[in-house]
Chain A
Amino acid sequence: MARAHSLFRPKPDAQRRQTRAGLLACLILMIVLAPLAAPYPPDQIDILNRLVPPGWPHLLGTDQMGRDVFSRLLYAGRLTTGAALLVVLASALTGTLLGCVCGYLGGWPDQLLMRFCEGLSVLPALAIAMIIAGVMGLGLAVVLLALTAVHWTEYARLVRNMILVERAKLYVQAAEALGSSRRRIVHRHLLPNIAAPLLTMAAYSLSWVILAFAGLSFLGLGVEPGTAEWGRMIADARNHMRSHPHLVLAPGLTITAFVMLVNLLGDGIGDRMRSRHTNLLTLRKTIFKPRS
């Protein structure tokens, strides 16, 4: 019985992963195709149809300015996803580059970087990002920069520590003994071997960035007022929360669902990567093109 159970176990897991991936794909598709999928322009004000309850033709009703909530949600998704991906990408690149260099070379640059990252990790990230954004003046670019400024250290620490573990292993020593250049060792040996945890981390960090971005916008410190953005929409609808709860519920549920799917994606990647041997080969082929 126990054996049968363990035999059948992988299947539901795989199925669950497929469902999640499918849901996430649908959401991403809707967001990418927002201009086609959205029935109305996101900023079209229609004062005669203010605060319409959900129904037809306004699927999720309209807000206090008569703008279609469903369309705004889709466009907001585009903005948030794009912004969050940019922040994650910039943080991952900076962190990986510095982490690799410092972890591999060691010495005082390594010490300096690690002390700096440790120091920054003590402080509350969102507060520091807020202060950076607030002092530099507001706007989308500034918010992205501020979030990256507090976020890249996480990658630097992870990459540096993994490089230290990996470079002590036999295959790196073998490559060194063969006379491979440092560059080649990092490119061909170290990076592909730390890619899996890095990807897992990227998924989790994406969810943090989305929440932080929405939080900043909610407080009025992110995008400009009136922009179709999830946090901003909730902030704008706050005064109508009691009479029209759907204006607060819809964007909130959208963020929660999106972030939850991203988190589960991270879990899924993590699970897959635990059986490293087969997957790493495919991963190496897909992400790092082998140079012949």
Chain B
Amino acid sequence: MVRRLSHRLVQSVILLFLVSIAGFALLRLLPGDFAEVLLLSQMDGTLPDAAAVERFSAENGFDDPLPVQYLHWLGNVLTGDLGTSFVTGESVSGDILLRIRQSLILALLSIGLALVLAVPIGCFCAYHAGGLADRLLAAASVAGLSIPNFWYALLLALLFSLTLGWLPSSGHGTLAHAVLPTLVIATTMTGVIARFVRARLLDEFHHAYIRTAKAKGLSQTRILLHHALPNILPSLLTLTGLQFARAFDGMIIVETIFAWPGIGSLLVASLLNRDYPLIQVCFLVIACGYIIINLLVDYLVTLADPRIQEAI
């Protein structure tokens, strides 16, 4: 377990390093001279003369070789200085932590809701495979994967906030604000996870240990809770981790539609504004966040399944 984790840890560190290079390249590979682009944004679109540009780039180290610039930039990032926004002129690291918090709240709520719904549904459908509920689940999960989530989000907003007036259609703060965004992200995930739980349980039911448990005269509930479910837990965790990444794709859209102040809506706003430093921060936050989440999921999987010794 230690070996596997250290292996993954080294991999993650390498990945973080690559991500940081990509993040650095994101800004420096802009069309045109970086010093010029930066000055243009600071001077409201009027470009100063060539001598001033040269002085500016010498002062800020833009004439140094790229590796030196990279190390300089990395030092700044690690100490929390992520540059200033092109649009507002303020430091971009300002409210980034709040944004991360809001996105995490939304993600955890959705995944929590999806798991709470999906596991019982999956179990029920596994016990009644081929029945009405099972076929409904199959149809619903295909539908869930086929509906564009932005349209689904708009439909929910149209029904629950514009027509019925039960829930607010945008903003954040109260639990009511979180209901619609959570629902949109959780629905698709529920279908996928429930189908997975059903399929894995059906596989497990063929194993000898289930037969033994039945022969011992254990109740169905006990077999499910103490025998079958613990055995599918590791793969369920892995799937949930993967779904987390997919959930973010949905969150970008959902946060934008419901004006939820998370990383997703920040990313869209910065892309539409061409606010490159802000795009860079979003990229770093998303990439690092996912590397950490993945590592965490790996750790949980090893905890849940001590048999896993080797990576791959």
Contacts and interface: CB of A to CB of B under 8 A. Distances in A.
Interface stretch (A45-53, A59-67, A237-245, A270-278): A237-245
B287 interface: yes
Contacts of A248: 151, 154-155, 158
Contacts of B11: 115
A122 B154 contact: no
Nearest to A241: B158
Nearest to A211: B148
B15 A122 contact: yes
A234 B272 contact: no
A123 B267 contact: no
A212 B246 CA distance: 12
Given A124-B248, A219-B268, A220-B272, A238 B154 contact: yes
A123 B287 contact: yes
Contacts of A134: 271, 274, 279
A260 interface: yes
Contact of B149 (A122, A130, A215): A215
Interface string A110-133: 000001000101111111001100
A135 B23 CA distance: 11
Interface of B: 11, 14-15, 18, 26, 29-31, 142-143, 145-151, 154-155, 158, 162-163, 245-246, 248-249, 252-253, 256, 264, 267-268, 271-272, 274, 276, 279, 282-283, 286-287, 290-291, 294
Q: Is the interface of A mostly helix, strand, loop or mixed?
A: helix
B279 A245 contact: no
A1 B29 CA distance: 70
B11 to A, nearest CB: 7
A135 B276 CA distance: 8
A231 interface: yes
B163 to A, nearest CB: 8
Contacts of B150: 214-215, 218-219, 231, 234
Contacts of A131: 26, 267, 271, 279, 282-283
Given A219-B253, A219-B256, A241-B162, A263 B30 contact: no
14 contacts: A119-B18, A122-B290, A126-B249, A127-B252, A127-B267, A130-B252, A207-B145, A215-B249, A219-B272, A220-B272, A221-B268, A248-B151, A256-B143, A256-B148
Contacts of B291: 122
B157 to A, nearest CB: 8
A69 to B, nearest CB: 15
A135 B27 CA distance: 9
A255 interface: yes
Chain A CB within 10 Å — which of B143, B163, B252 has the most? B252
